[in-house]
Amino acid sequence: MANKNIDMSKLRQIIKLYCQKQGSRTIRDATGISRSTVQKYITQFRGLKIPLDELSKLTDQELEALFHPDPITPDPPERQKELYAFFPYAEKRLKQPGMTLQLLWKEYSLKHLDGFQSTGFYKHFKIWKGQSHPSMRMVHKAGDKMFIDFTGKKLHIIDTSTGEIIAVEVFVAILGASQLTYVEAMESQDMTDFILACENALHFFGGAPAAVVPDNLKSAVTKSNRYEPHLNENFEAFADHYGMTVLPARAYKPKDKALVEGMVKIVYSRIYTNLHGQEFTSIQGINEAIWKYLEAHNQTSFQGRAYSRREQFDEMEKQLLQPLPPMRFEMRDQVMVTVMKNGHVCLRCDKHYYSVPYQNIGNKVKLFYSKSRIEIYYNYELIGSHDRVKSPHNYTTDPAHMATYHQHLTDWNPGRFMEEAHKIHSEVGFYIEQVILKKPHPEQAYKSCQGILSFSKRVGNERLIRACQRAHRYGIYHYRIIESILQRNLDQSDIEEDTLPMPTHDNIRGEDYYQ
C-alpha cells in the first residue's frame, strides 16, 4: 500500500482529518489506509505549506500531479539546483508583457551552457510551479489589470451623537501581476463612493493599469451580458479619464475574479482579525487602522518566496502603469435642454445660462455638468464648454458663440425688440435699448426684453410705460425691476412719494461685473 498511489478522495480525507488535529492512528482507522502511508502524506502536505482551503480548490488531476509527480530522471544535483534557483526570477519575468517560457529558456541557456534543454526546462518549471504555489495558475502581465470587489462582511463605526452602530462597506482592489493590494472602508456602494474608492486605489498605486475588472455590481454594470454588458455611464467615463478599459467579470464565473476573491479572504484574516475589539467613530478613523495593517500585508513576503507584494510591485509593475492625469475625475450629471433663441441653454438647478454656437438655436442638446465644468453636446459632438457658475439669472457667454454678425439668422435681434418697444411708446423703446446696451452681448438681454414687453399684454401699455419711466429714474435696467414695480403698484404713484424698491440679494452684481 505504501508504494501504491491512493485515491484522491482518500487523500483529501487524510488531510482534512489531520487539519482537524486527529492523530495518525485515528486517521488510519477512519480511512483504512496504513499508518505509514498516512504519515507519508501528512509529511508531504506539511512540506508543501499550502492552506487547506487552497488545496480544496484543486481538481483530482491537479492534486494527483502535486502529490504524485511524474518521476524525473535523476540529474546532477548542482545542475538542478542552479535551474531551480533561476525559476523565481523566471516567474517574475513571465509577468512582463511579451515574455514567454521559450525566451526565458534562451536566457537561461546563455548563462548555463551545460544546462537543461528546452523540454527539461519546461517540465521542471511546471513541477516547481505546482509544488511552490499551486493556486497561482493564471499568469497576469504587469500593468495589465486591476481587480476590484467589495467584501461580503461589513465593518462598523459608532455614531457618537446617537450611539448607533453603522455598517460600512469595505472595498478591495488588487493589481494582477504584483498583487499589491488596496483596501478602504466607505459609507456605501453607491456610484459616488464606488468611483472615489477606485480613484483612491489608482492614486495609492501611483498609476493606472490598462484595464479594470469589476464585479457585476450596479455601480459599474447597469445590465450584465455574456458578450457585451452595459456599463454605467459614469463608471465608463471614469475609466476613460484614466485611460483604462472596463472588463466586467462574467456573472456566475468566479474564476474571472479569483484573484480579488482570494484577497478578500486574506483581508479577513490579516485586517479584520486585527480590528476585532476596536471601536471607531468615523470612516477616517477606521481607514487609518485598515491602512496600517494593509501596509504590513503588502510588506509580508509571499509564502515560499523571498519577496513581498510591495517589492514585486516596485521591481516589475510600477513603471508599467500609465501616469495619472493632473486632474481627478468628476462625476457628471446630464440633462436634455433646448437652445433658446438667444443662443443660450439654462441649467435649471442653478438657474444660470450658458452660450452655445448660434447655429444650434432651437436644437435639443445634451448638457453634462460636474462640480466645476459644463459640457454641451449635439449629436455626440462637443459644441460648448464652460466653467460652472452658480449665480442665478446670469449669463456665461463665449463671444465666439454669439450671432452678432449673423442677426438675420434668427427672429430674436436688437432691432426687432426695439421696434416692438417703440410701437408701445418711445419711453419703452428707450428703456429696452438701455437693457440691451447694459449687456456685453445683446443676446444676453433677449430674455429680459421678451419678459418686459410681455407686460404690455398682461397689465396694459399705460402701466408698462409708467413702470419703464420709474425704472429709468432709478437707473436700473432689467426685467426684475419692472416686475417689482408692477407687483407693488408703484407705477400708480408719483415717483417722489416712495423710495427705491431695491431688493436685497447677495447675488446681485453691478454692470461693471460684466465688463
Assign 3-class secondary structure to 79-146.
HHHHHHHHHHHHHHHCCCCCCCHHHHHHHHHHHCCCCCCHHHHHHHHHHHHHHHCCCCCCCCCCCCEE
Question: In terms of CATH, what superfamily is 145-320?
Answer: Ribonuclease H-like superfamily/Ribonuclease H (3.30.420.10)
pLDDT of 363 > 80? The answer is yes
pLDDT at 137 over 50: no
Contact 356, 344 (CB under 8 A): yes
Q: Crossing angle of helices 77-93/309-316, nearest 10°?
A: 70
CB 93 within 8 A of CB 139: no
Q: Write out pLDDT tens, residues 210-243.
A: 888 887 665 555 555 454 455 677 788 888 889 9
Q: Is 336 helix (H, G, I), strand (E, B) or coil?
A: strand
Distances (CA, A) of 139 to 63, 97, 101, 255: 20, 11, 12, 13
> What average pLDDT is seen over the chain?
80
For 15, 17, 26, the CA distances from 34, given in Å and listed in that order, are 14, 15, 11
CB 273 within 8 A of CB 189: no
Phi and psi of 403, rounded to 5°?
Answer: -100, 35
> What is the C-alpha separation between 37 and 312, in angstroms, rounded?
39
CA distance linking residue 509 with residue 346, whole number of Å: 19
Whether 406 shows a pLDDT value over 60: the answer reads: no
Cell numbers that stand for 47 in this block: 512540506
Q: What does the alpha-carbon distance between residue 75 and residue 83 come to, in Å, rounded to a whole number?
A: 11
Rg (CA), the chain: 36
Instruction: Judge whether residue 426 has pLDDT over 60.
Output: yes
Helix (H, G, I), strand (E, B) or coil at 352: strand
Round to whole Å and give the CA distance between 332 and 370.
Answer: 5
Contacts 24+ apart (CB under 8 A), 400-403: 400/357, 401/343, 401/355, 401/356, 401/357, 401/358, 402/343, 402/355, 402/358, 402/441, 402/442, 402/443, 403/343, 403/358, 403/361, 403/443
Give the DSSP per-residue string, 275-287: HTT---SSHHHHH
Could you tell me which residues come within 8 angstroms of residue 214 by beta carbon, excluding any fewer than 6 positions away?
Answer: 148, 149, 220, 221, 235, 246, 248, 249
Burial (CB count within 10 angstroms: exposed 0-12, middle 13-18, buried 19+), residue 430:
middle
Whether 414 shows a pLDDT value over 80: the answer reads: no
Distance from chain centroid for Cα 60: 40
For residues 469-494, average pLDDT: 86
CA dist., res. 127 & res. 208, Å (int): 34
Question: Taking Cα atoms as reference points, which of 373, 399, 400 lies closest to residue 386?
Answer: 373
Look at strands 352-355 and 395-396 and give their pairing.
parallel
Give the containing element (helix H, strand E) for 496: none
Residue 136: band (very low, low, confident or very high) from pLDDT cuts 50, 70, 90: very low
Parse the chain into domains and list their residue ranges: 8-67, 77-132, 145-320, 333-401, 411-514
| Exposure string for 316-341, b = 16+ CB within 10 A, e = fewer | bbbebbeebeeeebbebeeeebebbb
Q: Which of 64-78, 84-98, 419-433 has the highest mean pLDDT?
A: 419-433
289-326 per-position pLDDT tens digit: 999 999 999 998 877 677 888 988 988 888 989 999 98
At 251-283, the pLDDT tens digits run 545 554 677 788 888 888 889 888 888 999 999
Cα angle 207, 208, 214; round to 5: 140
**CA-CA-CA-CA torsion sign (292, 295, 299, 303):** positive
Q: Are the beta carbons of 398 and 386 closer than 8 angstroms? A: yes
Give me 313's grid cell.
510591485
> What pLDDT score was predicted for residue 264?
87
Per-residue pLDDT, 269: 84
Res 329: pLDDT = 84
What is the band of 65 on the pLDDT scale with cuts at 50, 70, 90? confident
Instruction: Please say if the pLDDT value at position 409 is more than 80.
Output: no
What is the grid cell recorded at 416? 426687432
213-227, 246-260, 327-341, 471-485: segment of lowest average pLDDT: 213-227
**Buried/exposed 161-187: b ≥16 CB within 10 Å, e otherwise:** eeeeeeebbbbbbbbbbbbbbbbbbbe
d(CA 298, CA 301): 8
Closest residue by Cα to residue 137 from 62, 83, 210: 62
The proportion of the chain whose per-residue pLDDT surpasses 70, expressed as a percent, equals 83
Helices (H), 213-352: 233-241, 258-267, 273-275, 283-299, 309-316
Entry pTM = 0.49
Please, which pLDDT band fits residue 408 given cuts at 50, 70 and 90?
A: very low
Nearest-angstrom CA–CA distance, 389 and 354: 9
**In this structure, what C-alpha cell is assigned to residue 508?**
446681485
